[in-house]
Structure 1
Amino acid sequence: MKVLVVGGGTGGLCLAQGLRQAGVDVQVYERSRTRTERLQGYRVHISPHGAAALHECLPPQLWRRFVDSCGKSGDYRFLTEQLTELLLIEDELTSGPDAASAHHSASRITLHQVLSAGLEDVLHYDKEFVRYERNPDGTVTCHFADGTTATGDVVVGADGGNSRMRKQYLPHAERIDTGIIAIAGKFPLTEETRRLLPSRLVEGPNTIMPPKGCCMFVAPHELGGGVNDETFEYNEVLFENTQSYVMWAFAANSGRFPVQVSELDGDGLRDMVGGMIADWHPGLRKLVAESPGEAVSLLPIRTSVPLKQWPTTNITLLGDAIHSMTPFGGIGANTALRDAQLLCRNLVEVAAGKRSVLDAVGDYERQMITYGFKAVRFSLRNAHQSVSEATAGRVMFKTVLRACSAIPPLKRAMFSGQGK
């Protein structure tokens, strides 16, 4: 059995690592021209689900490299815009007893480096997918923009939210704009800049909850002295592999922004957010104002529309290619890793002669559609609640958080195992 994976992102590479470990013939086709072209992105939260998938699919040495390269974990806080604590959720409350069942702060760049390692002979760059066609013998041939083709027994579309594979295979599958816009940036952490911020902003992730209409997420990616890939030189903007930083993301409905955000560069986006939080805690204002403009990005928030099960074939989809979700909840990458883990298990059984391709893919799709679109709905609900203009709802939620803070058994009941 030969498996073709279209897309070399988090889920596609995790799947390739797992199949390769099991001796399955797998080839990955990535549109980026080189391995270094994907040097972008912010901190990504890896939950116990994602950690378990990486632990299972990665060779032991790469798993250890992933763990060593993660930033320090920390307790999670809900704070007001004046940094008054609403609730502290201790890390041990949501993590398991070992690294494979814990939460991790990972650099997207470093995670991609780890997932790419050792795949040099199966990971093909500069392969922009154009279309596929079915062959009389049941195989599928993928066509790429450079005129080359590849033929396999199973094809997995892992080519992201704008998936061309999905558009051809499931043209009725929709991905829509939520009307929410996020602006994200990075504040580099050095001995000097660290003194500019309140300690709680660098001790762990925080959700900032003003009275209504917007929200902010703040999380440190503080390196713990782990392994960094020397292939990549230091870059003062990217700095994910060599320097600690705090990432922040401010979100609101598009109508709340005072100007047309699509026309602004990084400096303009940063300054606009600074104006919108002018009455917030000075530490939050400093966090935004001192972030380099080159590290500030505009992120329109989109989401997939849940689907019913479709007829199973030897083509399937994984990660954002099928269940793209908002970042409100931090579960998108983890759901893609869960897809990779499940699909890898099933395809390994096909290679071992224990089940048919259609049985393996159909079982994967049934489970993936259930948990994947549950995650889509959860993250969309979180997104709308986070930017809601309803003051009463925000007050009620803050009251619940304060109650959990005051009653430890209630907090344990609500948040124990949350990341799983």
Structure 2
Amino acid sequence: MRVGIIGGGVGGLCLAQGLTKAGIDVTVYERDHTPESRLQGFRLNIEPVGSTALHACLPDTLWQVLVATAGDSGRGIGFLDEQMRPLIMVGRGDEAPDPLDPATGEHAVSRVTLRRLLLAGLGDVVHFGKEFTRLDGNEVHFADGSTATADVIVAADGANSRLWAQLHPEATRTELPAVAVGGKLFLTDETSAWLPAELLQGKNVFWPIRDFLFTAVFRRREDPSAVVDRLGPDLRALGVDPARLLADSADRDYVMWAYIAHRDAMPADFNSLDPEVAKAELSDRTATWHPALHRLIAASEPDNLFQTAFTAARPLSLGRAGNVTGLGDAVHHMPPVGGLGGNTALRDAQHLCAALTAVHKGERSLGDALTDYEQGMLKHGFATVREAVRNTEGAITRNTLKRRAARTFFRVCGAVPPLGRAVFAD
């Protein structure tokens, strides 16, 4: 069985690692021209669902490198108002889990390091400079005029997937009335001196009377040079150069923030504004907030600001699967809140890998395995889309009564621990 994966993002590469580990013939076709084409952006917070998938698909040595080079984003999550008054603190005092335990560990992973880890050991499996144009039967066509065939073809080419759009022209998306800005404040002796303890302990959700702010702190667990010294021999045994693998992985520690607002509350051209102008707009909107939150945004470097609009895939139902399937954003694109999209793509990769491995071993037919995979993928994927959309709608609502009611509910949950534990159990 030959598997062709269209797209070398997080989900596609995780699937390729898992299939290679299972001894299945797999090729990834990535439109970027080099592995270094996308070495920017914020760290990705890997939740237990994504952690479990990476542990299942990666060789053990690469899993250990991922954990060692990742950051620890702290315990639990706090819900506070814009004056940093606690509403409820969830899991903040819990004992830290073993980071090597995939079922409980969380990892703030550098996207640079994660992509290199996912590419490590794949060698000729990944073909760069292959921009998908169309599918004819089992034959995949690329913009450079080349073609390829495979027994199973996987759409893993992101939210604007050409392959999934060709297969399912009925698949559509909804534009949400939200805009967001993400930024970084690097941790130095100076910034650490004035940042409140809450911002340095973990993840926080700030629930003002208007708009929304999320923060998370990212600190590396281990210096990359120490990782090379400790795991270098095992990496070389895999045919991986540890120095190359961990080059540029010593990114600076920082507090990440994401500000979300209703689109109509911002200037019409907000997403195209110069970062300095966008930051000035946020500075005005947070002028009455706690001074530290206001300063967090004001002191962040404009070059690291990221502005985006929000869209979400509409639910899709499929019949019996053929030999072409999909995963991640190609199927169930969602708003970028809480890292849900990346973790869901990793989960898809793990489950699709398990389905194809069963076929490879002769335990299941390809049609039955892919049909069951797609049913589970769609159910979980679109449930996560709904969760992301609900969270976005709550963050941007301009109904003052609803916002006050939400804050009161959080306070009640904080004041009545059994209720809080029941509500925030997950």
Q: Per the shorter chain, which TM-score range? A: over 0.9
Of 113, 123, 126, 2:126 maps to 123
Give the aligned residue type for 1:133: D
Cα separation, partners in 2 of 1:104 and 1:94, compared to 1, 3 Å: farther
Give the distance between the partners of 1:226 and 1:56, measured in 2 at CA: 25
Matches within 5 A, 1:12-411: 12-75=12-75, 76-90=77-91, 99-102=101-104, 103-134=106-137, 140-212=138-210, 214-227=211-224, 230-231=243-244, 241-411=250-420
Q: Deviations over 1:43-101 (max 9, x none)?
A: 22211111111111111001111111111131311111111111111157698766211
Cα separation, partners in 2 of 1:258 and 1:402, compared to 1, 3 Å: same
Cα separation, partners in 2 of 1:364 and 1:399, compared to 1, 3 Å: same
Q: CA deviation at 1:108?
A: 2.4
Give the distance between the partners of 2:89 and 2:47, measured in 1 at CA: 18
Secondary structure in structure 1 of the residue aligned to 2:65: helix
Q: CA deviation at 1:259?
A: 5.0
Give the aligned residue type for 1:215: F
Cα separation, partners in 2 of 1:360 and 1:319, compared to 1, 3 Å: same
Give the distance between the partners of 2:388 and 2:123, measured in 1 at CA: 35
Q: CA deviation at 1:30?
A: 0.9
* Greater shift in the superposed pair: 284-293 or 404-413: 404-413
Report if aligned partners of 1:222, 1:245 keep a CA contact under 8 Å in 2.
yes
Give the distance between the partners of 1:159 and 1:14, measured in 2 at CA: 13
Q: CA deviation at 1:409?
A: 2.0
Give the distance between the partners of 1:99 and 1:60, measured in 2 at CA: 12
Report if aligned partners of 1:47, 1:334 keep a CA contact under 8 Å in 2.
yes
Q: Compute the TM-score of the two structures, normalised by the length of structure 1.
A: 0.92
RMSD across aligned positions (CA): 1.9
Report if aligned partners of 1:48, 1:95 keep a CA contact under 8 Å in 2.
no
Q: CA deviation at 1:155?
A: 0.3
Give the distance between the partners of 2:269 and 2:169, measured in 1 at CA: 31
Give the distance between the partners of 1:216 and 1:339, measured in 2 at CA: 29
Report if aligned partners of 1:95, 1:101 keep a CA contact under 8 Å in 2.
no
Q: Which residue of 2 aligns with 1:137?
A: none
Q: CA deviation at 1:110?
A: 2.1
Report if aligned partners of 2:73, 2:216 keep a CA contact under 8 Å in 1.
no
Give the distance between the partners of 2:84 and 2:177, measured in 1 at CA: 27
Q: Deviations over 1:319-369 (max 9, x none)?
A: 000001112343111111110011000001111111111111111001111
Task: Please identify runs of 4+ aligned residues in structure 1 that moved more than 4 A.
Answer: 91-98
Cα separation, partners in 2 of 1:305 and 1:96, compared to 1, 3 Å: farther
Cα separation, partners in 2 of 1:289 and 1:399, compared to 1, 3 Å: same
Cα separation, partners in 2 of 1:91 and 1:44, compared to 1, 3 Å: farther
Report if aligned partners of 2:223, 2:250 keep a CA contact under 8 Å in 1.
no
* Greater shift in the superposed pair: 350-359 or 104-113: 104-113
Cα separation, partners in 2 of 1:141 and 1:95, compared to 1, 3 Å: farther
Give the aligned residue type for 1:377: R
Q: CA deviation at 1:31?
A: 1.0
Q: Which residue of 2 aligns with 1:237?
A: none
Give the aligned residue type for 1:227: P
Secondary structure in structure 2 of the residue aligned to 1:118: coil
Stretches of structure 2 that go unaligned for 5 or more consecutive residues are: 226-241
Secondary structure in structure 1 of the residue aligned to 2:376: helix
Aligned length: 406
Secondary structure in structure 2 of the residue aligned to 1:83: coil
Report if aligned partners of 2:78, 2:92 keep a CA contact under 8 Å in 1.
no
Q: CA deviation at 1:277?
A: 1.2
Report if aligned partners of 1:93, 1:412 keep a CA contact under 8 Å in 2.
no
Give the distance between the partners of 2:252 and 2:338, measured in 1 at CA: 25
Give the distance between the partners of 2:358 and 2:203, measured in 1 at CA: 39
Stretches of structure 1 that go unaligned for 5 or more consecutive residues are: 135-139, 235-239
Give the aligned residue type for 1:86: L
Report if aligned partners of 2:11, 2:156 keep a CA contact under 8 Å in 1.
yes
Give the aligned residue type for 2:103: S
Report if aligned partners of 1:216, 1:250 keep a CA contact under 8 Å in 2.
yes
Cα separation, partners in 2 of 1:300 and 1:402, compared to 1, 3 Å: same
Q: Deviations over 1:112-143 (max 9, x none)?
A: 22211111220111111111110xxxxx1111
Q: CA deviation at 1:295?
A: 0.7
Identity %: 42
